[in-house]
Amino acid sequence: MLSYRHGFHAGNFADVLKHSLLTLAINALKQKDKPFVYIDTHAGAGKYSFKSEFAQKTGEYQQGIARIWAAAQPPEEIKDYLAAIRAENTGKQLVRYPGSPQLVRRLIRAHDRLQLSELHGSDYESLQQLFAGDKQVSVAKEDGLERLSKKLPPIQKRGLILIDPSYEVKSDYSKVVEALQNAHRHFATGVYALWYPIIDRAVTDRMLQRLQATGIPKQLCIEHCVSEDGALRGMTGSGMLFINPPWQLQLQAEALLPWLNQVLTEGRGTWKVDWLVHEAV
Ligand code: SAM
Residue among 107, 118, 146, 238 whose CB has most ligand 1 atoms within 8 A, to mutate: 118
Q: Can 164 be counted among the known catalytic residues?
A: yes
The string of DSSP codes covering 103-120 is HHHHH--TT-EEEEE--S
Segment 58-97, tens digit of pLDDT:
999 999 999 999 999 999 999 999 999 999 998 889 999 9
Segment 116-166, tens digit of pLDDT:
999 999 999 999 999 999 999 999 999 999 999 999 999 999 999 999 999
Reported confidence tier of residue 232, pLDDT bands at 50, 70, 90: low
Task: State the closest ligand 1 atom to the C-alpha of 168, by its place in the atom list counted from 1.
Answer: 19
Q: Is 144 annotated to bind ligand? A: yes
Question: How many domains is the chain built from?
Answer: 1
Q: Is there a domain that residue 209 lies in?
A: yes
Which pTM does this prediction carry? 0.97
The answer to whether the CB of 216 falls within 8 A of the CB of 225 is no
Q: Is there a domain that residue 193 lies in?
A: yes
The pLDDT of 229-257, averaged and rounded, is: 93
* pLDDT for residue 2: 77
* pLDDT for residue 1: 66
Segment 175-189, tens digit of pLDDT:
999 999 999 999 999
Question: In percent, how much of the chain has pLDDT > 70?
Answer: 98
Q: Is there a domain that residue 75 lies in?
A: yes
The answer to whether the CB of 74 falls within 8 A of the CB of 66 is no
Q: Is there a domain that residue 170 lies in?
A: yes
- Residues flanking ligand 1, CB < 6 Å: 2, 4, 6, 18, 40, 42-44, 99-100, 117-120, 123, 143-145, 164-166
* pLDDT for residue 177: 98
Q: CATH code at 134? A: 3.40.50.150
Say whether pLDDT at 110 is over 60: yes
Q: Is there a domain that residue 223 lies in?
A: yes
Q: 10 Å Cβ neighbour count for 43?
A: 30
Fill in the DSSP letter of residue 78: G
Q: Which residue among 40, 164, 172, 274 is the active-site one?
A: 164
Task: State the closest ligand 1 atom to the C-alpha of 19, by its place in the atom list counted from 1.
Answer: 4
Q: Is there a domain that residue 228 lies in?
A: yes
Say whether pLDDT at 281 is over 60: no
- Computed over every residue of the chain, the mean pLDDT equals 95
Q: Is there a domain that residue 188 lies in?
A: yes
Q: Is 9 annotated to bind ligand? A: no
Residue among 166, 170, 171, 194 whose CB has most ligand 1 atoms within 8 A, to mutate: 166
Segment 197-228, tens digit of pLDDT:
999 999 999 999 999 999 999 999 999 999 98
Say whether pLDDT at 280 is over 70: no
Q: Which domain holds residue 69?
A: 6-277
* pLDDT for residue 233: 73
CA of 167 to the centre of ligand 1 (A): 9
The answer to whether the CB of 234 falls within 8 A of the CB of 183 is no
The answer to whether the CB of 163 falls within 8 A of the CB of 180 is yes
Q: Buried (b) or exposed (e) across 178-191, using 16+ Cβ within 10 A? A: ebbbebbeebeebb
Q: Backbone phi, then psi, for 273, in 5-degree steps?
A: -130, 105
The pLDDT of 7-24, averaged and rounded, is: 97
* pLDDT for residue 3: 86
Say whether pLDDT at 11 is over 60: yes
* CA–CA distance, 109 with 35 (Å, rounded to integer): 8
* pLDDT for residue 93: 92
* Residue nearest atom 16 of ligand 1, based on CA coordinates: 120
* pLDDT for residue 80: 98
Q: Is there a domain that residue 1 lies in?
A: no
* CA–CA distance, 230 with 205 (Å, rounded to integer): 13
